[in-house]
Every structure is written in C-alpha cells, then in structure tokens.
Amino acid sequence: MRKNSIKNTRVNGEVQKELSIIIRNEIKDPRIHPMTSVMAVEVAPDLKTCKAYISVLGDKEAKDATIKGLVSAEGYIRRQLAKSLNLRNTPEIRFILDESIEYGVNMSKLIDDVTKKDSSPEEPQE
C-alpha cells in the first residue's frame, strides 16, 4: 500500500469536509438519520473513486436506511462536490458503514464493568 502524498491527504480532508456539509445541510432524504457523520474519506490518487466511511448513531434499521439514502443521492452529492471543489475529476463515491465508534464505546463499557467488579470492596470473611 502506498503512503499518501501531501496532495492526496489534502484532497481527502477537503472532500471529507465538503461531504459532511452536503450530507448535513443539503440532502432532504428522510431515510438519512440526523446523527450521521463522515468519519474518513479515501480518494484514489487518480481521483476516479472515493471511499467514504459513514458513522450513524442509531439502530441497525437507521444505519441501513441511511446508507440506502446516501447511495440513492450519490449523483446529487457528486454534483455538489464538483461545484464546491476544483478537482480534475469528481470521484465516484462508495459509502461504507463505519462502526468503529460503536465498537469502541462497547469495549469501553465492558472494561469499565470489569474494573468496577475488581475495585469493589470485598466483604470481610469471619
């Protein structure tokens, strides 16, 4: 795997910023959950494709509906990206559900539960 160049890193950041603004402010699809955020964006060096990692705070149905809504609005999102970013090519976007935050919260909760059990004072034996 190639190391990202400075230009590619900058393009990733700009696409992520614009994508989050478009999803939050401009898309009116009711399937898209209001607590949707763009976690990361990986734009290919040739600017043809882009992977957008999306995190949704909600249940499984909300996550599935949000991804379906984003996939159906991909043409509009791409057109808005082309207007706001001055790139040679506007990348074709693939939306990928990112559950790393939810996984981290669950792991943190499990660790807290274990530490509470260990730190609770034991009853003295008589």
Task: Tally Cβ neighbours within 10 Å of residue 32.
Answer: 21
Assign 104 a pLDDT band (cuts: 50, 70, 90): confident
Which among 34, 30, 22, 24 is positioned nearest to 69, based on CA atoms? Answer: 30
Based on C-alpha coordinates, what's the Rg of the chain? Answer: 20
Checking phi first, is residue 47 left (phi over 0); if not, alpha (psi -120 to 50) or beta? left
pLDDT of 1 reads 46
Assign 101 a pLDDT band (cuts: 50, 70, 90): confident
Mean pLDDT of 62-82: 93
Mean pLDDT of 70-93: 91
User: What is the pTM (predicted TM-score) of this model?
Assistant: 0.78
Comparing 21 with 99, the larger pLDDT belongs to 21
pLDDT of 38 reads 93
The strand ranges marked E within 11-115 are 36-43, 49-56, 92-97
| Locus of tokens 């001055």 | 86
Comparing 117 with 51, the larger pLDDT belongs to 51
Say which residues have a Cβ less than 8 Å from residue 37's Cβ, sequence separation at least 6. Answer: 20, 54, 55
Q: Whole-angstrom Cα distance, residue 120 to residue 100?
A: 30
| Chain segment 26-70, per-residue pLDDT in tens | 998 899 998 899 999 999 988 899 999 999 988 899 999 999 999
DSSP label at 124? P
Q: Please count the residues of the chain.
A: 126
Mean pLDDT of 68-85: 92
